[in-house]
Structure 1
Amino acid sequence: MNNEFKVVIGIMRASNLLIDDLKKTLKNYPVNVTEFAVMEFLYSKGEKSIQEIRDRILLASGSATYVVDNLEKKGYVNRKISQKDKRVTYIKLTEVGKKLMDDIFPIHKINTKMIFDDLTKDELVTLKEILKKIN
């Protein structure tokens, strides 16, 4: 087995570990992993267009709209049509959505930190640089 394939398997296993950990956290909350990913993006970056959400979360166009529809039904986000370009819709967390993220995010952050606890700060920086280079 070549090194590239071993690296791919390692990245996929690490990704699965992070997703499984997030699922455990979210089992106590009324959102799934994809909804959380959208909310986390809005929570950390503020109001964004559906296009930006789709590109960041790596969703198909219809999927992004579906996720936003679900989050809107739950009262966690609002839509706003751009005044400059009526084809563009912006999504923003509601106060209820922010409150939910205020509850979930610290737990998620602690759990993620525990997963990476065995890495030094230098190793984390190196890993980040390598992943950025691959992407």
Structure 2
Amino acid sequence: MEIYKLIEQYKGERNKEIRGIFSSIFIFQNRLQTIFDKADPYITVKQFMLLAMVKHSTEKQTYTHLGKLLGCSRQNIKKLVISLEKKGYLINQKSNEDKRTSYIIMTEKANEYFDEISNIHQIHLAELFSEYSDEEISFLYKTLMKLHSSIDKFEREY
């Protein structure tokens, strides 16, 4: 069945629209991952998101903290870090205070990568949202942040 037929079938009834939104989140994630993975010859979009979290963090990052930020397990973060470490983008540094704790630190190569690729990512994002007005972007942002809050609440309950 074509996706646009499904969209039309789910339109207009709250429960159906909620299911449509929920399904769309997964579909969007898969499609965007495919697009951005093809656009970047160096790293995957998941690796990029991890690097971005480390880059923009004001504190040292651990596997556990990065897992919470990205909504995945510590083990998944560790796999991403190992891959990025092999490529020379990250360093896994043991804590001096607690040898069980590792901090994830960006290398100069990662900073150079961001300098090189950030403009390309900005262009792709601008294209992706080019048909949205400023008001629509603001509304979507607020709505998605509200969804973050609902997910946080849901996680605490379960």
What's the CA shift for 1:12? 3.6
**Structure 1 gap segments, 5+ residues each:** none
Deviation digits for residues 40-67 of structure 1 (CA, Å, limit 9, x no counterpart): 2122225422212111222222121121
**Structure 2 gap segments, 5+ residues each:** 1-9, 11-15, 149-158
Paired positions, count: 133
Letter in 2 for 1:20: T
1:40 pairs, out of 30, 33, 52, with 52
Give the structure-2-normalised TM-score.
0.73
Cα gap change, 1:70 to 1:11, in 2 (>3 Å): closer
Distance across 1 between alignment mates of 2:123 and 2:103: 30
Alignment of 1:1-135 (within 5 A): 1=10, 2-26=16-40, 28-29=41-42, 31-45=43-57, 47-135=60-148
The share of aligned pairs that are identical, in percent, is: 24
Contact 1:21 1:111 in 2 (8 A): no
Higher relative contact order (CA 8 A, sep 6+): 1
Letter in 2 for 1:132: M
Distance across 2 between alignment mates of 1:11 and 1:32: 19
Give the structure-1-normalised TM-score.
0.84
What's the CA shift for 1:25? 1.5
Output the aligned Cα RMSD. 1.9
